[in-house]
Structure 1
Amino acid sequence: MTYGNDPGQNPGGYPQNQPGPQGGYPPPQGGYPPPQGGYPPPQGGYPPPSQGGYQQGGGYPPPQGSYPAAPGGDQYGGQYGDQYGGQYGGAYGPPGGYPAPELAHWGLRVGATLIDGLIVGVPTWILSIIGSALSAGSVDQETGQVGSGFGIGLVLSLLAIAVGLGLGLWLKHKEGTTGQTVGKKVVGIQTVKEQTGEYIGFGMAVVRYICHIVDGLPCYIGYLWPLWDAKRQTFADKIVGTVVVRAPR
Structure 2
Amino acid sequence: MGRRAARRAVTTRAHRRARLRVRLDRARRALAERPAAGGHPGDPRRHRNLLSAIRRRDQGRLRRHRHRCQAGRLTSLQESTVASTPPPPPGPPPPPSGYPPPSGYPPAGYPAVTVASADPAPGLQYAGFWIRFGSYLIDVIPIGIVGGLLNLRTGTGFSCRIDLNGASVCGGGSSYIGSWLGVLILGVYWVLTWSLLGASLGQKALGMRVVNVQNGERIDIVKALIRYVGFVISAIPFALGLIWAGFDPRKQGWHDKIAGTYVVRPQ
Structure with greater contact order relative to length (CA < 8 Å, sep ≥ 6):
2
Shorter-normalised TM range: 0.3 to 0.5
Structure 1 or 2, whichever has the larger Rg, is 2
Larger proportion of helix: 2
